[in-house]
Every structure is written in C-alpha cells, then in structure tokens.
C-alpha cells in the first residue's frame, strides 16, 4: 500500500507541474510557444465571398448587432416580410464573415480539448461554441450554420439542420429556416448562386433535389459528380434544437478544466502526501513496538 501511495503522490505532483506550466503558456495567448503544435488554420483554397474586415465581429452579440443595423439601414422599422428579409441578411453576413475550413481549439485557448482530440477523434477539438467560432476567420459548414441558426432563432425564425452524407465526397451541413409558411434552404459554406436561388424562391432541399438541373446550376462551380453525390442523401434535424449538446458540454468542461485542473492535481498531491506520511509513521511505530522490547529482554537475560 505504501508503495502505491508513493507512486500516486508522484503522479499528482508531475501532473500538477505540467498543468501549471501549460496554463502559464496558455495565458500568454499568441506568444505561447506551444501553439506551434496546434492544428494549422487552413488557407483559403477556393474563390469565396470572404471579407476579412468582418473578422471584427468576434462574438454572437457583435454579429447580431451588425445584422440588426443592416436590416434597419435597408428596411427601417418595417415589419412586413421581416423573417425572409432578416434571414437573407444573416445568410449574407455569415457567408462574407467566414472562409471554409475548420476552426479548432489548441494550446492557446483549450489545450485539454486539443489533447483529447489527439488520442481520440480530431473532431473533439473542432469548435462548436458560437462565441469561440467567431474568434476565427475560418469556419466549416457546420460551424457557419450554427452561427446563422442562432442569429435567426434570436429573431423568432425557426430553423432546422439539414445533414448530407455522400458516398464518395463525404458529408455536408446546412440548414433550413421557416417563414412564409414553408421551409427555405441555406448553405453559407458551399455558396450556391444567390441570385438564382432567390429567383427560384429559395425552396427547401426537398424541392431542390426534385430538380437536379436547378441544383447543378446553383452549384455550377463544383463538379457535377460531387453535387449529385452529396445533396441527394439528406436528413433533417429537430426544429430549433441545438445539434451537438454533448459536444458543447465537453468543450465547456474542458475549457474550464484547462484553467483549473491544476487545483485538482494539487489537492490530490496534498491528500496522497499526507496519506503516505501517515503510513510511514504507522510503520515506524509498529517497528518500534517489535524491536525495542526484544532487545530489552536479551539485555536482561544475564541477571537470571
């Protein structure tokens, strides 16, 4: 038992020292030398509607305020067709705010999520908390959709996820918004032709897949094989339901622990250290009771 406790206290001490060191580096932000080990932010690999200056919209509150200001500038206080007009503004802003590519946690902001992703699935470090996504200029299809869905839901516009899974070209994540008594399809990431999409009334994905030629025309910048592989196989998520609650909980917990886990290691070390010292004192007392009396009896024997 004593040896086991000794090993435990050594483990807690090592983990405490490491966690404090990494935390200090994390607090250094961009000056953290460990960020060289992070996953690199992707470069923009295709022509996209990206405006770098919109990176200043670094939180949900900021981007929501910006969308509100655009709506007021275009439509004033008018409430007719509000849902359709506001949804279009949100879609355009998110489309311009990001270029394609996953944004991830790393040693700069949530090193625990990043370390877990290295030994499990890389997706665990892909950010799904909206305020954290907005700290990056790049976002994947799902990350961009999460932002747009929250902005619309804040204004009472119902949304639902539309997930795709192609056999050859992988998955894709879009969403639909409900207004004017029907669902309307939005894809801020792969950027279908906006003018043409509006000309056909921005229907839902169910209507679009019934008209393959329209779908191909909307995504004419991509190979026909890719468009037909991805978009024909789709499924809906629940209305106004956040699509990744467990993942969000994981990222909140690891974010909290990346700043505080050293405390738990310190407590563990103090507890096991005291336990080890108590075991050492107990063994010393036990040994004293065994050896000293026997020595005394041997020394007293000649008097008999």
CB atoms within 10 A of CB 224: 12
Span 273-288, mean pLDDT?
75
Categorize the per-residue pLDDT at 207 as very low, low, confident or very high, splitting at 50, 70 and 90: very high
* Percent of the chain surpassing pLDDT 90: 80
pLDDT at 92: 97
Top-confidence residue, 133 or 38: 133
What single DSSP character describes residue 117? Answer: H
pLDDT at 295: 44
Span 71-95, mean pLDDT?
93
Give the global pTM: 0.85
Distance (Å, whole) CA 273 – CA 7? 10
Decide if pLDDT at 126 tops 80: yes
Distance (Å, whole) CA 41 – CA 138? 8
* 171 SS3 class: strand
Give the E-state strand segments of the chain in sequence order: 99-100, 138-139, 158-165, 171-179, 182-186, 234-236
The two tokens of residue 270 are 């103090």
């Amino acid at each position: 038992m004593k040896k086991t406790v000794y090993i435990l206290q050594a483990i807690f001490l090592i983990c405490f020292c490491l966690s404090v060191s990494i935390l200090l580096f994390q607090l250094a932000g961009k000056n953290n030398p460990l960020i060289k080990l992070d996953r690199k932010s992707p470069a923009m690999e295709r022509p996209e509607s990206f405006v770098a200056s919109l990176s200043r919209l670094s939180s949900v509150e900021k981007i929501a305020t910006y969308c509100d200001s655009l709506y007021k500038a275009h439509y004033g206080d008018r409430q007719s067709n509000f849902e359709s007009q506001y949804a279009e503004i949100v879609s355009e802003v998110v489309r311009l705010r990001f270029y394609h590519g996953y944004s991830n946690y790393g040693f700069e902001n949530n090193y625990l999520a990043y370390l877990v992703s290295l030994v499990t699935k890389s997706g665990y470090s892909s950010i799904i908390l909206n305020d954290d996504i907005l700290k990056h200029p790049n976002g994947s299809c799902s990350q961009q959709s999460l932002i747009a869905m929250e902005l619309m839901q804040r204004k009472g516009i119902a949304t639902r996820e539309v997930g795709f899974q192609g056999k050859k070209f992988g998955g894709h994540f879009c969403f639909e918004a409900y207004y004017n008594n029907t669902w309307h399809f939005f894809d801020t990431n792969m950027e279908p032709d906006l003018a043409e999409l509006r000309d056909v009334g921005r229907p839902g994905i169910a209507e679009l897949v019934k008209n393959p030629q329209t779908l191909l025309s909307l995504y004419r910048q991509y190979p026909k094989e890719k468009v037909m592989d991805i978009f024909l196989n789709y499924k809906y998520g629940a209305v106004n339901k956040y699509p990744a609650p467990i993942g969000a909980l994981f990222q909140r917990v690891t974010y909290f622990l990346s700043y505080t886990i050293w405390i738990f290691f310190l407590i563990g070390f103090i507890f096991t250290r005291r336990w080890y010292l108590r075991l050492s004192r107990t063994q010393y007392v036990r040994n004293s009771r065994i050896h000293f009396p026997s020595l005394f009896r041997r020394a007293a024997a000649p008097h008999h």
